[in-house]
Amino acid sequence: MYSGFVTAIDFIGTFAFAISGATAGARKGLDLFGVLVLAFAAATAGGIARDTMLGATPPVALVDWRYLAISALAGLATFYRSETIERLRNPVQLFDAIGLGLFAVIGAGKALAYGVGPVGAVMLGVLTGIGGGMVRDVLVMQVPGVLQRELYAVAALLGAAIVVCGDALSLPATPVAVGGAVACFALRFMAMRYGWQLPAATPRT
Amino acid sequence: MYSGFVTAIDFIGTFAFAISGATAGARKGLDLFGVLVLAFAAATAGGIARDTMLGATPPVALVDWRYLAISALAGLATFYRSETIERLRNPVQLFDAIGLGLFAVIGAGKALAYGVGPVGAVMLGVLTGIGGGMVRDVLVMQVPGVLQRELYAVAALLGAAIVVCGDALSLPATPVAVGGAVACFALRFMAMRYGWQLPAATPRT
Amino acid sequence: MYSGFVTAIDFIGTFAFAISGATAGARKGLDLFGVLVLAFAAATAGGIARDTMLGATPPVALVDWRYLAISALAGLATFYRSETIERLRNPVQLFDAIGLGLFAVIGAGKALAYGVGPVGAVMLGVLTGIGGGMVRDVLVMQVPGVLQRELYAVAALLGAAIVVCGDALSLPATPVAVGGAVACFALRFMAMRYGWQLPAATPRT
């Protein structure tokens, strides 16, 4: 049952990141296939990096056709309905925040299942969460949001740490994962909404 | 015999991508070593990503000195004869298209040989084909061509899909690979020549 | 003893690259966590790529908490004391040069220990050395220094080649590694100081 639950939230995260990637691509005026490529890259780069670093090769996102299908669906919907999505406030960041929480808990859980220790599992969770957005931003030539947005990596760290702590305390995996994803999303969303942020360095010229 | 054939087209693809990388570097005014690094990165990034994701470590391009030698040769030729190459129409894209077709069929074939299923093999073929050009473009701070050029990823998909279909039908591997590479190159070349393209999103400001 | 020595110089290299990453981030005006993320990325990307390509998964920098702690320490010091560091001449490049030499010899040595041949070991050494700086520069949207700075990759090549030659000649590993790191740093430092450089291509517009 836990494994079906994990697959379900992995697919939801994939859909959310694919929309964030497709929206970023549509804003750049990419053609349909460029939008689809960016949707797929944003949706799967974090998981591909995680699986490659775990030695879980080939990465599941490349061999299970459903990741491609979900990304393509999200990309097509965004391409032909981008006005609807743009009506949301800050859609790239909103869908990114949903995917961030889901992927951070999935990544940490998969790392634990592969026998990685607590520090490594938290870091692989953070990497799974932030990887897709970093690749998306670099491909459209923007400084990745994780480097400059309010409490972005902190939120991923929170979600992954909740999963790892829950595992150490032998709590049931499903509610802990839900709690981690919700906590991550909530922190990120509040930070966006209310502009919470860490102190920033003064840029030099 | 098939294995010698694969090595031969892998080397030709390496040479083609190395010229595209070196030409992009020379246009940016890089020094000799920068041009050589960019030639090597463009020529090998796709194959290195493919091998790493297949668990075929260490990647062949890092342990077989001939990939380095071929890239260096292409890089030196480009650096000292860039006027000749620039006389071609759109040389970065032309050599990129040659490498794209060759690497897409090689990547798909290697994935099949490692027991990856049809969807995964097509995707690893596409990744092998587009990886070098993406890294080349990001390193010189350009939005990767695969996101915005006419039918770029579609062409790689066609080449890789031909290899996977030929394998499913038990057709002889060598002519199928040649056919896939030619079909990919032809589609990409015609798209460049006649400006064929998919519908594009309207960029927002 | 050699292994403790390797860990020590790996930590020093991590510290040096983390300072270079944090300084680059502080200059961009990133917030505290962005600076820490960039410090960690610069400090560990080369080693993570090396381990992933060697099949030594999961990468040591993700499972040993000390890499994270060292990067965080360097990042915090830089964030709160960036004036001190900026008083140095060219601090990003200076700490980068220290890390370059240390990581090039470590990478080559680890590749040899995993049974990689001499060409592959030199290339993995170079990759370990240049990887962190490439990721740092791309994340802040700059053309990586390795493509344009004086004798950057040449210096990494020198350090890694010294380790591989020393191994082939069965010389004692520790002094050879020190010699390789010093030679790499010295060449890079002199190239920066005296503007030594390779011939450059003329940029086209």
Label residue A75 by pLDDT band (50, 70, 90).
very high
Which chain B residue shows the shortest CA-CA distance from C55? B57
CB neighbours of residue C12 within 10 Å? 15
CB contact under 8 A, C30 and A55: no
Residue C147 lies in a domain: yes
Q: Give the three-class secondary structure for C169.
A: coil
Indicate whether A200 pLDDT > 80: no
Altogether, the residues listed in chain A come to a count of 205
Label residue B14 by pLDDT band (50, 70, 90).
very high
Q: What is the pLDDT of residue C1?
A: 53
Residue B176 to chain C, least CA–CA distance (Å): 30
Q: What is the pLDDT of residue A94?
A: 85
Substitution target from B50, B100, B124, B148 for chain A, most A beta carbons within 10 A: B148
Q: Which residue in the set C147, C150, C202 is minimally distant from B139, CB to CB?
A: C147
Contact list in C for residue A51 (CB cut-off 8 A) is none
Label residue B31 by pLDDT band (50, 70, 90).
confident
CA distance A99 to A183: 13
Contact list in A for residue B152 (CB cut-off 8 A) is 33
Count how many domains chain B has.
1
**A84 at the B interface (CB within 8 A)?**
no
**A160 at the C interface (CB within 8 A)?**
no
Residues 13-32 of C with CB under 8 A from A: 25-32
Who contacts B183 (Cβ-Cβ below 8 Å, separation ≥6)? B101, B158, B159, B162
Residue B205 lies in a domain: no
Residue C204 lies in a domain: no
Contact list in A for residue B50 (CB cut-off 8 A) is none
Do the beta carbons of residue B102 and residue B46 sit within 8 Å?
Answer: no
Indicate whether A199 pLDDT > 90: no
**A69 at the B interface (CB within 8 A)?**
no
| Residue-wise pLDDT tens digits, B80-139 | 887 777 777 677 788 889 999 999 999 999 999 999 999 999 999 999 999 999 999 999
Residue C157 lies in a domain: yes
Residue B111 lies in a domain: yes
Q: Which residue in the set A111, A144, A153 is minimally distant from C33, CB to CB?
A: A153
Domain that holds residue B69: 2-194
Label residue A2 by pLDDT band (50, 70, 90).
low
Substitution target from C100, C136, C147 for chain B, most B beta carbons within 10 A: C147
**A123 at the C interface (CB within 8 A)?**
yes
Average pLDDT rounded to a whole number, residues B21-34: 89
Substitution target from A50, A63, A70 for chain B, most B beta carbons within 10 A: A63
CA C105 to chain centre: 10
Contact list in B for residue C200 (CB cut-off 8 A) is 29-32
Label residue B194 by pLDDT band (50, 70, 90).
confident
CA distances from B69 to A147, B40, B73, C87 (A): 38, 9, 6, 42
CB contact under 8 A, A148 and C57: no
**Which subunits count as partners of chain C given 3+ CB pairs below 8 Å?**
A, B
Regions of chain C with pLDDT less than 50 = 205
Residue C34 to chain A, least CA–CA distance (Å): 4
CB neighbours of residue A56 within 10 Å? 18
**B199 at the A interface (CB within 8 A)?**
yes
Who contacts C53 (Cβ-Cβ below 8 Å, separation ≥6)? B48, B52, B57, B58, B59, B62, C124, C127
**B124 at the A interface (CB within 8 A)?**
yes
**Which subunits count as partners of chain B given 3+ CB pairs below 8 Å?**
A, C
Of A11 and C203, which is predicted with more confidence? Answer: A11
Q: What is the pLDDT of residue C52?
A: 94
The encoded tokens of residue B75 equal: 């890089």
**C141 at the A interface (CB within 8 A)?**
yes
The encoded tokens of residue A69 equal: 């299908």
Question: B152-168 and B173-194 helices cross at what angle (nearest 10)?
Answer: 160
Q: Which residue in the set B53, B117, B201 is minimally distant from A52, CB to CB?
A: B53
Residue C201 lies in a domain: no
Which chain B residue shows the shortest CA-CA distance from C153? B33
Residue B95 to chain A, least CA–CA distance (Å): 21
Q: What is the pLDDT of residue C2?
A: 67
Q: Which residue in the set A29, A33, A59 is minimally distant from B202, CB to CB?
A: A29
**B92 at the C interface (CB within 8 A)?**
no
In DSSP notation, C141-165 reads: T---HHHHSTTHHHHHHHHHHHHHH
Q: What is the pLDDT of residue B45?
A: 95
Indicate whether A1 pLDDT > 60: no
Who contacts C59 (Cβ-Cβ below 8 Å, separation ≥6)? A53, C44, C47, C48, C50, C51, C52
Do the beta carbons of residue A45 and residue B165 sit within 8 Å?
Answer: no
